[in-house]
């Protein structure tokens, strides 16, 4: 049984994504991804101009009249949502932690998937794969995924994206949509992304807190790396330090984006905003652009 608090939180997330979902996300999602190929629908009589390669010779021989096979796009997809639950996801300077924002973005994608009758699964990772839930359909299934992301307690603190990608590659037998949600403050995952991209449609979503891009002048602050435990005392009142911090953050953002460009992997950077519709805007814009290219 779920506590009232858990149910209330999950319901709040469902409500928060509903407007965005109904307004633009479902159509953009549907138009962005192809199915797994073509599947047989029916046979009909041959008419001049039909491709002779589509003639069904068995039916033609049985009826004495030329018939052709009719195919339709196999629309059903599988989406795997991979969520980084390392300790850096517990950081947040506003009302929500990065992990909570990832849960809401996951809800948006998962509801879009089931509205299109697609399956959606979840893989939570740190420096090891900590939880895998097989793809399935339905609202109850999506609510379970949201609940797991919100309340999952990881065993480890670090990040190993390469390991998670390789694990996912072994799980997926058919072409799937794979969304990897992380801050990508890791290294050595380039080859694993390239291998996964050869068989699947891969999207990397970077979730960034505003305080990871600039610091307010609030005096001496002790910062702790949540993954290593290392602490550092900094003076945020020093304008030169704040300027250097912003410069380094921009450099890091540029390098991560360039890395995914080299890998030919779609990349979306999410900067957490006060309102979810503003936070999700880059993701929605990505799907709009994809839909136009098809």
Phi, psi of 94 (to 5 degrees): -110, -145
Where do the domains of the chain lie, and which CATH numbers do they carry? 4-33+76-293 (3.40.50.410), 38-74 (no CATH)
Please choose, from the candidates 233, 253, 125, the residue with its C-alpha nearest in 3D space to the C-alpha of residue 185. 253
What digits encode the pLDDT tens for the residues 189-230? 999 999 999 999 999 999 998 888 888 877 887 777 766 777
Question: Cβ neighbours of residue 96 under 8 Å, at least 6 residues apart?
Answer: 104, 272
Band (pLDDT 50/70/90 cuts) for residue 72 is: very low
Mean pLDDT over residues 264-281, rounded? 89
What digits encode the pLDDT tens for the residues 141-152? 988 898 888 888
Residue 80's pLDDT is 96
Residue 38's pLDDT is 47
pTM of the model: 0.78
The CA angle 84-86-91, to the nearest 5 degrees, is 100
The CA angle 171-173-174, to the nearest 5 degrees, is 130
For 2-16, 22-36, 78-92, 202-216, which range has the lowest pLDDT when averaged over its residues?
22-36
Long-range CB contacts (within 8 A, 24+) of 64-73: 67/43, 68/43, 68/44, 69/40, 69/42, 69/43, 70/40, 70/41, 70/42, 70/43, 70/44, 71/38, 71/39, 71/40, 71/41, 72/38, 72/39, 72/41, 73/34, 73/35, 73/37, 73/38, 73/39
């Amino acid at each position: 049984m779920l506590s009232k608090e858990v149910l209330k939180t999950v319901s709040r997330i469902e409500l928060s994504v509903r407007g965005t979902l109904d307004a633009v996300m479902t159509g953009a999602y549907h138009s962005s991804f192809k199915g797994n190929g073509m599947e047989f629908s029916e046979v009909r009589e041959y008419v001049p101009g039909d491709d002779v390669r589509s003639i069904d010779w068995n039916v033609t021989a049985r009826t004495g009249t030329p018939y052709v096979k009719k195919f339709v796009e196999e629309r059903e997809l599988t989406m795997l949502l991979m969520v980084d639950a390392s300790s850096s996801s517990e950081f947040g300077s506003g009302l929500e932690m990065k992990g909570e924002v990832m849960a809401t973005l996951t809800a948006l994608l998962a509801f879009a998937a089931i509205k299109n009758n697609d399956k959606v699964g979840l893989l939570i990772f740190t420096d090891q794969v900590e939880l895998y839930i097989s793809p399935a359909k339905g609202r109850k299934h999506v609510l379970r995924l949201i609940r797991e992301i919100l309340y999952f307690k990881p065993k480890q603190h670090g990040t190993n994206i390469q390991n998670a990608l390789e694990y996912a590659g072994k799980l997926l037998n058919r072409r799937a949509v794979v969304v990897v949600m992380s801050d990508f403050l890791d290294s050595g995952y380039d080859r694993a992304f390239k291998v996964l991209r050869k068989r699947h449609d891969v999207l990397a979503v970077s979730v960034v807190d505003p305080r990871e891009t600039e610091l307010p002048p609030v005096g001496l602050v002790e910062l702790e790396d949540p993954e290593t435990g290392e602490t550092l005392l900094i003076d945020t009142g020093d304008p030169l330090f704040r300027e250097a911090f912003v410069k380094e953050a921009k450099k890091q953002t540029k390098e991560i984006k360039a890395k995914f460009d080299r890998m030919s992997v779609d990349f979306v950077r999410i900067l957490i905003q006060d309102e979810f519709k503003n936070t999700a805007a880059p993701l929605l814009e990505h799907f709009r652009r994809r839909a136009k290219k098809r």
